[in-house]
Amino acid sequence: MKIELTPKQKQGREAFRAFAEQEIIPYADQWDESEQISRDLIEKMALQGYLGAVLPERSGGMGLDMITCGLLNEEVGRACSSVRSLLTVHGMVSLVLQRWGSPEQKEVWLPQLASGARIAAFGLTEANVGSDAKSVETTATPSGNSYLLNGRKKWITFGQIADVFLIFAQSEGKPTAFLVERKTPGLVINPIRGMLGVRASMLAELRLEDCCIPASNLVGQVNFGFSHVAATALDYGRYSVAWGCVGIGQACVEACLRYTNVRRQFGAYLREHQLVQQMLTEMITNVKAARLLCYQAGYLKDVRDPGAITETSIAKYFASRTAFKAANDAVQIHGANGCSSEYKVQRYLRDAKIMEIIEGSTQMQQINIARYTCQEEMLDGPAAR
Amino acid sequence: MDEQKIKIRTFLSKHLRNHDLSDEADIFGLGFVNSLFAMQLVMFVEREFGITIENEDLDIENFRSVNAIVKLVDKKAATLAEA
């Protein structure tokens, strides 16, 4: 066993960090305030190939292994969770099409998603349906060689600008996924503003009123929308969010190390006060532990181990709690300054709270990890040990 | 064929808590299959037999029993050999 990045992975991490330092960090607070990221940034990320990170080179993607892909999410997440959430949802739909798309869907969509020419968003959540995702109320009624989609989707990340949505609906009571293009008649998109965190992720509510979707836009098969299509997307979503949380935690560590090195109280630097040291130690240790869990999940994904799904849930659970705790302590260490928009830690805290809710809330993970582990205890494989 | 069956039966049996599984037993009918296991089964079959489960293979009949999975694996392996 060897836990060390390859030279190529290290090189990737350095490039991602340099990009984030130059193109994201200087603007992240501004985007948080204006509740949108710039088109210019999306184009720059597309040019770097980041929007095709999860796709193979034959589809025009970067063909990254899952560890390197995770490092991209950490470095972008360290800079701005809203930008990271674009990588998450765009990657979720890209991976689903790569995994379960028809040959025609792959041919049409993968190169466009890989290049960033088109942006994709994930449309599962509804006003009445969050954790209980199987119970979506949107319907897809067969009509000749098409389906008529009716319903509403809420909190759709980057819904304001996405060109195509992966929409989940009940087709005669069977969960089914469809690609719905933005230009589809009957699709109305309303921006959602004023969120607590990840404020620049350009959320939208979608209304589908008799949207006529060709049967060729059905992704996977009827009745496999949840068990295979959504499951594939959410597994990657959890992985991306977990790494993004490591990024938030790392940003908190760095902010606190800087601050405690210059701020003095009672005649000593904050870093010399033991109760501050306690918070720093917790933060540093938990962030490292979260990163190791992400490495483990990434490794299992790369070797296609069936245990990867549970390990990813564990990584997401721990990393999101760590990010929130780290950001909470980071604000505490910064005192009044930490509550001010002049310091980034207040943004980290607001963003970190969202991480405990999306892609399976902390409570859903608490239920599922125990259940999954009971289920897997009989199975052989690295995840069982 | 027998080796395939043993591997599949071992994987399924462990998941089904050593339920005595015949080659024709309907694993969905036994009521143990949830969405986590559905994806784990796909990953297991792909890794163990070096095949890729695709859109067109998403048919519950392909995963219903040990024999059904063997049949799917054979079909996919034959397609792979022809390519």
- Domains of chain A, first to last: 7-118 (1.10.540.10), 121-222 (2.40.110.10), 226-379 (1.20.140.10)
Contact yes or no for B47 and A379 at CB 8 A: no
Contact yes or no for A227 and B38 at CB 8 A: yes
Which pLDDT band holds residue A270 (cuts at 50, 70, 90)? very high
Distance CA A384, CA A266 (A): 50
Distance CA B60, CA B71 (A): 13
Contact yes or no for A378 and B17 at CB 8 A: yes
Search chain B and give the residue with CA nearest A219: B55
Judge contact between B23 and B64, C-beta under 8 A: no
Query: What percent of chain A shows pLDDT beyond 90?
Result: 94
- Residue A147 has a pLDDT of 98
State yes or no: pLDDT of A112 exceeds 50: yes
CA-based radius of gyration for chain A = 21
- The listed range with the strongest mean pLDDT (A130-144, A189-203, A367-381) is A189-203
Which pLDDT band holds residue A287 (cuts at 50, 70, 90)? very high
Task: Determine the average pLDDT of the residues in A72-101.
Answer: 98
For chain B, how long is the longest CA-to-CA vector? 38
Whether ipTM tops 0.90, in short, is yes
Give the closest-approach CA distance of A172 to chain B in angstroms: 17
Which pLDDT band holds residue A142 (cuts at 50, 70, 90)? very high
- Residue B36 has a pLDDT of 84
Which amino acid is located at A151 in the chain? G
Which pLDDT band holds residue B15 (cuts at 50, 70, 90)? confident
Distance CA A80, CA A62 (A): 22
Task: Determine the average pLDDT of the residues in A304-327.
Answer: 97
Q: Which of B79, B21, B15, B17 is nearest to B51 (CA)?
A: B79
pLDDT in tens, B49-83: 999 999 999 999 999 999 999 999 999 999 888 87
Best mutation target among B33, B55, B56, B58 (most A Cβ atoms within 10 Å) is B55
Range in A92-106, A171-185, A349-363, B14-28 the model is least confident about = B14-28
Burial class (CB in 10 A: 0-12, 13-18, 19+), A193: exposed
Question: What does the buried/exposed string (b/e) look like for B38-77 if buried means 16 or more CB atoms within 10 Å of the residue's CB?
Answer: bbbbbbbbbeebebebbbebbeeebbbbbebbbebbeebe
State the average pLDDT for chain B: 87
State yes or no: pLDDT of A339 exceeds 90: yes
Helix (H) or strand (E) holding A354: helix A345-355
Strands (E), A144-241: 146-156, 164-171, 174-181, 187-191, 204-214, 218-219
- Residue A376 has a pLDDT of 67
Q: How many CB atoms lie within 10 A of CB A224?
A: 24
Contact yes or no for A228 and B58 at CB 8 A: yes
Q: Which chain A residues are Cβ-neighbours of B37 within 8 angstroms?
A: 375
Model pTM score:
0.96
Give the closest-approach CA distance of B74 to chain A in angstroms: 20
Residues of A taking part in catalysis: 359
- Residue A380 has a pLDDT of 47
Characterize the bridge pairing of strands A120-123 and A164-171.
Answer: parallel
Query: What percent of chain A shows pLDDT beyond 70?
Result: 97
Which pLDDT band holds residue A383 (cuts at 50, 70, 90)? very low
- Residue B61 has a pLDDT of 94
Which pLDDT band holds residue B13 (cuts at 50, 70, 90)? confident
Contact yes or no for A306 and B47 at CB 8 A: yes
Characterize the bridge pairing of strands A139-143 and A120-123.
Answer: unpaired
State yes or no: pLDDT of B32 exceeds 90: no
CA A47 to chain CA centroid, nearest Å? 20
The beta-carbon neighbor of B36 closest among A223, A224, A375 is A375
Range in A49-53, A234-238, A314-318, B13-17 the model is least confident about = B13-17
- Residue A381 has a pLDDT of 47
State the average pLDDT for chain A: 96
Search chain A and give the residue with CA nearest B59: A221
Q: What is the DSSP string of chain B?
A: -HHHHHHHHHHHHHHTTT----TT--TTTTT---HHHHHHHHHHHHHHHT----GGG--GGGGSSHHHHHHHHHHHHHHHHH-
Q: Which chain B residues are Cβ-neighbours of A307 within 8 angstroms?
A: 40
